[in-house]
Structure 1
């Protein structure tokens, strides 16, 4: 929802409007990992740090 005085652009993405902290509170990493595992999708390469 635009703040007073702001005009919402039709080409704007949700990610342009919402903070990463809000997303991590709503979707904690453990929940995201469970959903990815249920879908059968994992990282294709092993790296020192996880993709997230």
Structure 2
């Protein structure tokens, strides 16, 4: 039974690492362009999504 929870935890950690990687390598490099091109509401929405 404990093995199942350990697997779920490992998968959750991998998903979290993937989301963090996407934030570091995809969102951050384009952030200045997003801020320049998009309305403030959109960039605030992206910031909220990436920080959550």
- TM-based fold match above 0.5: no
Q: When you count helix as a share of all residues, which structure comes out higher?
A: 2
Q: Which has the higher contact order (CA 8 A, sep 6+)?
A: 2
TM-score (ref. length: structure 1): 0.29
